[in-house]
Copies of this chain bind each other. A is one copy, B any other.
Amino acid sequence: MASSPSAFVPGHITGFFSTHSHENPEKAGSRGAGLTLSDGVRVSVERARETTLVLNDQRVSMAAVEGVLDRLGVTARVTARTELPVSAGFGVSGASALGTALTVNAVTDGKRTENELITLAHAAEVEAGTGLGDVVGQARGGVPIRLEPGGPPHGRFDGLPVRSRIEYVSFGGLDTATIIGGDTATLSRAGEEALAALLERPTLDRFMAESRRFAREAGLLTDRVEETIEDVRNAGGEASMAMLGETVFALGEGLSTAGYDPSVCHIDGGARVERA
């Protein structure tokens, strides 16, 4: 533990998804598509007698992070920093879980491969009920398409070969656990249709259009989100809602052109360990 590696895990916005439950959390998850963001979570860990998690200088509890540490059989002081809004559809819990897995493995001279650590973090996140597809998307980077649910080797993935500036504004959170723990039949049907439509024409414009259709059909749009998307569309831009938060994301300068003061980032390359 002499050296002090940290991990950077990108934020992940899901545009649309369907839920797939399985008794084995490594095989459960979601199908769908999203964007990974250069705004993300940086995680460092120190071994400690008792596990604590400090996110942006505040002591918090995250079941997914605790699940990762349990699975790795260690207790640690985990420090996470992010510019992303929390509980607003950016996958902060998934990023914290994956960042913890990668960093603990590095500081303990661990002997797990990337696939093993991704699947371990994915399973912890699924069991915590806080996400179904963020961890695998964040591990992959780019514009991840989740073809089959679960962590590797169960899940199967593809992506869109594009990069873009991304803008976002967030008005607050939605309760992921309540939504993905409730009746997801309508949502999942809409998500399957969106995925089929994207695979038929795998472009960023199609991704945005199908994300909007999903948000509407799944009944998740709030008034503020709907108005903001409408504003961006009226200004000639492309925007949709981040699943699951009261958050609007747009391609390029979509939100600024429409008069908003958004956070600005770009599509990212994926989670990585960084030696200090």
Contacts of A102 in B (CB 8 A): 161
Chain B, residue nearest A269 (CB): B269
> A54 in the interface, Cβ–Cβ < 8 Å?
no
Question: For residue A156, which residue of chain B has the nearest CB?
Answer: B153
| A270 interface neighbour in B106, B202, B269, B274, Cβ under 8 Å | B269
A273 to B142, CA, bound (A): 10
Q: Is A71 an interface residue (CB 8 A)?
A: no
**Is A109 among interface residues, defined by CB-CB distance under 8 A?**
yes
Contact B160 A114, beta carbon cutoff 8 Å:
yes
Q: Which of A158-208 contact B (CB under 8 A)?
A: 158-164, 199, 201-203
Q: Which residues of B contact A201 (CB under 8 A)?
A: 111
Residue A117 at the chain B interface, CB threshold 8 Å: yes
Task: Kindly provide the distance from the CB of A153 to the nearest chain B CB, expressed in whole angstroms.
Answer: 7
- List residues of chain B with CB within 8 A of the CB of A159: 113-115
Contact (Cβ within 8 A) A163 B112:
no
Q: Can you give 10 A-B contacts (C-beta < 8 A)?
A: A111-B202, A111-B203, A113-B158, A114-B158, A114-B160, A114-B161, A141-B270, A162-B273, A163-B274, A269-B269
> Using a CB–CB distance below 8 Å, which chain A residues touch chain B?
102, 105-106, 109, 111-115, 117, 141-142, 145, 152-153, 156, 158-164, 199, 201-203, 269-270, 272-275
